[in-house]
């Protein structure tokens, strides 16, 4: 490895002095103007990780649901997973190193991780539709090549498509073909197969309205549509031809504002969904006859999916261990419904999909979703092999159920939460069960809830335990929250420092919107007072 060449090349990707960025929950993310050196350095790091794991590593250039002027980058590990935590630290160190220290920091990582410099490296790169993404992805490639790495640039991809490509390449084709064609065919074949089973229930002309957040999802759905048209028509809105990326639209906007995106023509009863800017999140919604908006978030998606998979297993007569993984943000009603009515065990992890993904791998079938709509289902290798065998061996109703489950296994993107794949899964389940969007929504009633943000001088003063549901520091904060929660029926509240924004997040839920709002406000005041609030005191959200 020619570290001198790295130094020379790095001069073309100079780091603004003093700029310190951290590899957070979703990689590096900030205004695109500050990211060129980060991209170059992540190209370098990807090469080291690839050499160490002797596998293909992915680099995705995107800032997901953040504004168009932002950008970001994250690395994808061999099985399509998020980068291992110890390497996140290397990423932060490498990104923060001043120019002259770069070779030293690289050499330290090589030594610490026992990277064999002679080993070959292969990197795949993808990017979203932001104006800054193309140039930034070239900087990644510059970093890859200066360290002698080979690469394939996929160009425009959704984030989950890149995760899929990495997984395929490292599974010697067992998971699928590492091409867009391979992705479209794998998912569409499974979907069309499932919809054939549903057509006997009389619904041959399904359609759904999709808000693409003016992002990559629109391009990729257009590219894929003809593969699955037999089973579903998609009516695209916010397809990027006019509006700005994520501006007043997209899954994050719809979930956090609890209202429809701009630019979508919604009639009462229409089944609608929104992707986020890199198409790894999805939420559904509809409007009733009185014009009231109803959101169907990640929790209800997880409930629909896990209940359906459980029913299929029952029909096949297989007793497999199925679990649902959520975070503290999951609506209390969803947890209660899953545990008490569906008798499905539920686990809570820290925020951030890597934690959920990791936990879900412990089950035969693990379904995970963040309330904001990021999630998927994972099937252990043994289960996948067994179901695919049963699909061929069994006959009658059992055989039909096994073949359906086998198709669902193919339809899920098991590398990462994927809005396109999840949408097809949901559409197939609704069609197979003959459920309308209103009937799906009626499975349980969400507890009213409120999320607020509080600015503090240093959010690291708040530390948490019990999957972020209890604050350990600063002293007195948890006691204050407990006292406030006690005032309301069936209420719950917690606070945690955000991993992607410089704020403390406050969450509260209760039996009425008024109580949830008041509780969230009171907890915000407690944070402001006990955790070093800055600027204006929190205002009531009503
Ligand atoms: C409450 C919330 O929605 N938090 C989001 C947000 O993380 P924070 O650490 O809360 O900023 O961004 C993450 C990355 O996209 C996502 O995984 C997570 O669910
Ligand atoms: Mg996203």
Q: DSSP per residue over 394-456, as a string? A: --HHHHHHHHHHHHHHHHS-SSS--HHHHHHHHHHHHHHHT--HHHHHTTSPPPPEEEEEE-B
CA of 348 to the centre of ligand 1 (A): 15
Euclidean distance between CA atoms 162 and 123, whole angstroms: 11
- The whole-number pLDDT of residue 202 equals 47
Q: Which atom of ligand 1 is nearest to the CA of 499?
A: 9
CA of 276 to the centre of ligand 2 (A): 6
Euclidean distance between CA atoms 121 and 110, whole angstroms: 14
Euclidean distance between CA atoms 365 and 414, whole angstroms: 11
Q: Which atom of ligand 1 is nearest to the CA of 451?
A: 1
- The whole-number pLDDT of residue 540 equals 87
State how far the alpha carbon of 246 is from the alpha carbons of 66, 74, 179, 389, 477, in Å: 7, 19, 27, 43, 35
Instruction: Please answer whether residues 136 and 103 qualify as being in contact, where contact means their C-beta atoms are separated by less than 8 angstroms.
Output: no
- The whole-number pLDDT of residue 193 equals 96
> Which segments are annotated as binding site for substrate?
370-372, 496-500, 505
Which residue shows structure tokens 């509006």?
243
Instruction: Please answer whether residues 284 and 273 qualify as being in contact, where contact means their C-beta atoms are separated by less than 8 angstroms.
Output: yes
Residues, beta carbon < 5 Å, ion ligand 2: 64, 276, 278, 280
Q: Judge if pTM exceeds 0.90.
A: yes
Whether 64 is catalytic: yes
Burial class (CB in 10 A: 0-12, 13-18, 19+), 118: exposed
Euclidean distance between CA atoms 229 and 207, whole angstroms: 10
- The whole-number pLDDT of residue 276 equals 98
Q: Enter the tokens of residue 421.
A: 């794949």
For 262, the 3-state DSSP assignment is coil
- The whole-number pLDDT of residue 199 equals 67
Residue identifier of the C-alpha nearest atom 2 of ligand 1: 372
Burial class (CB in 10 A: 0-12, 13-18, 19+), 435: middle
Domains and CATH numbers, the chain: 3-156 (3.40.120.10), 182-188+197-295 (3.40.120.10), 298-418+433-442 (3.40.120), 449-531 (3.30.310.50)
Euclidean distance between CA atoms 504 and 538, whole angstroms: 12
DSSP bridge partners of 366 = 323, 378
pLDDT (tens place) for every residue of the chain, 542 residues total: 888 999 999 999 999 888 889 998 889 999 999 999 999 999 999 999 999 999 999 999 999 999 999 999 999 999 999 999 999 999 999 999 999 999 999 999 999 999 999 999 999 999 999 999 999 999 999 999 999 999 999 999 999 999 999 999 999 889 999 999 999 999 999 999 999 998 654 455 899 999 999 999 999 999 999 999 999 999 999 999 999 999 999 999 999 999 999 999 899 999 999 999 999 999 999 999 999 999 999 999 999 999 999 999 999 999 999 999 999 999 999 999 999 999 999 999 999 999 999 999 999 999 999 999 999 999 999 999 999 999 999 999 999 999 999 999 999 999 999 999 999 999 999 999 999 999 999 999 999 999 999 999 999 999 999 999 999 999 999 999 999 999 999 999 999 999 888 999 999 999 999 999 999 999 999 999 999 999 999 988 77
- The whole-number pLDDT of residue 45 equals 98
E strand residue ranges, 137-232:
150-156, 207-211
Our answer on whether the CB atom of 499 is closer than 6 Å to any ligand 1 atom is yes
- The whole-number pLDDT of residue 200 equals 52
Q: Shortest CA distance to 94 belongs to which of 142, 12, 2, 23? A: 23
Residue 483 has, within 13 A of its CA and on its CB side, a CA count of: 7
Residue identifier of the C-alpha nearest atom 6 of ligand 1: 500
Euclidean distance between CA atoms 287 and 437, whole angstroms: 10
Residue 107 has, within 13 A of its CA and on its CB side, a CA count of: 10
Q: Enter the tokens of residue 264.
A: 């979508």
Euclidean distance between CA atoms 198 and 178, whole angstroms: 30
Euclidean distance between CA atoms 169 and 174, whole angstroms: 9
Residue identifier of the C-alpha nearest atom 15 of ligand 1: 26
State how far the alpha carbon of 415 is from the alpha carbons of 127, 165, 301, 378, 472, in Å: 17, 9, 18, 8, 34
Q: Enter the tokens of residue 201.
A: 């229930």
Sheet holding 346-349, edge to edge: 346-349, 322-327, 365-369, 375-379
Q: What is the pLDDT of residues 451-484, one digit of tens each?
A: 999 999 999 999 999 999 999 999 999 999 999 9
Our answer on whether the CB atom of 500 is closer than 6 Å to any ligand 1 atom is yes
Ligand nearest to the CA of 160: 2
DSSP 354-387: HHHHHHHTTSSEEEEE-TTS-EEEEE-HHHHHHH
Q: Kindly name the residue from 7, 50, 55, 64 that is annotated as catalytic.
A: 64
Q: Which residues contact 291 (CB under 8 A, 6 or more apart)?
A: 268
């Amino acid at each position: 490895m020619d570290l001198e060449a790295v130094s020379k090349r790095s001069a073309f990707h100079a780091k603004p002095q003093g700029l310190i960025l951290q590899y957070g929950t979703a990689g590096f993310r900030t205004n695109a103007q500050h990211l060129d050196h980060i991209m170059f350095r992540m190209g370098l790091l990807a090469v080291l990780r690839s050499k160490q794991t002797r596998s293909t590593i992915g680099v995705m250039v995107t800032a997901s649901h953040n504004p168009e002027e932002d950008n970001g980058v994250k690395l994808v590990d061999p099985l399509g997973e998020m980068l291992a935590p110890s390497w996140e630290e290397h990423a932060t160190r490498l990104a923060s190193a001043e120019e002259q220290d770069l070779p030293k920091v690289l050499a330290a990582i090589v030594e610490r991780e026992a990277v064999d410099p002679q080993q070959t490296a292969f990197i795949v790169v993808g990017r979203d539709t932001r104006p800054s993404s193309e140039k930034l992805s070239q900087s990644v490639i510059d970093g890859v090549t200066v360290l002698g790495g080979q690469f394939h640039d996929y160009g425009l991809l959704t984030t989950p498509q890149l995760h899929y490509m990495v997984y395929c390449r490292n599974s010697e084709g067992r998971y699928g073909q590492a091409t867009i064609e391979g992705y479209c065919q794998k998912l569409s074949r499974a979907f069309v197969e499932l919809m054939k089973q549903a057509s006997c229930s009389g619904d041959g002309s399904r359609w759904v309205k999709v808000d693409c957040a003016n992002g990559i999802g629109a391009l990729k759905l257009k590219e894929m549509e003809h593969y699955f048209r037999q089973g579903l028509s998609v009516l695209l809105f916010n397809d990027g031809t006019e509006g700005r990326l994520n501006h007043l639209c997209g899954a994050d906007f719809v979930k956090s504002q609890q209202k429809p995106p701009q630019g979508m023509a919604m009639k009462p009863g229409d089944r609608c969904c929104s992707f986020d800017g890199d198409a790894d999140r999805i939420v559904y919604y509809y409007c009733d006859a009185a014009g009231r908006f109803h959101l169907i978030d990640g929790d209800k998606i997880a409930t629909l999916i896990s209940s359906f998979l459980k029913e299929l297993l029952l029909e096949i007569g297989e007793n497999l261990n199925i679990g649902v993984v959520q975070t503290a943000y999951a609506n209390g009603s969803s947890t209660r419904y899953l545990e008490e009515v569906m008798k499905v065990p539920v686990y809570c992890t820290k925020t951030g999909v890597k934690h959920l993904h990791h936990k879900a791998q412990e089950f035969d079938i693990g379904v995970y979703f963040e309330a904001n709509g990021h999630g998927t289902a994972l099937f252990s290798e043994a289960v996948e092999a067994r179901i695919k065998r049963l699909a061929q061996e069994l006959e009658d109703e059992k055989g039909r159920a096994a073949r359906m489950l086998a198709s669902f296994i193919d339809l899920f993107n098991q590398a990462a939460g994927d809005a396109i794949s999840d949408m097809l899964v949901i559409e197939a389940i609704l069609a197979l069960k003959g459920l309308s969007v209103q009937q799906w929504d009626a499975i349980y009633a969400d507890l009213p809830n409120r999320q607020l943000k509080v600015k503090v001088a240093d959010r690291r003063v708040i530390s948490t335990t019990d999957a972020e549901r209890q604050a350990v520091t600063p002293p007195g904060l948890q006691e204050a929250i407990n006292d406030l929660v006690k005032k309301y029926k069936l209420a719950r509240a917690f606070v945690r420092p955000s991993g992607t924004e410089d704020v403390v997040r406050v969450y509260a839920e209760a039996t009425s919107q008024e109580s949830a709002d008041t509780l969230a406000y009171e907890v915000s005041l407690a944070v402001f007072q006990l955790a070093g609030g800055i600027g204006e005191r929190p205002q009531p959200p009503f």
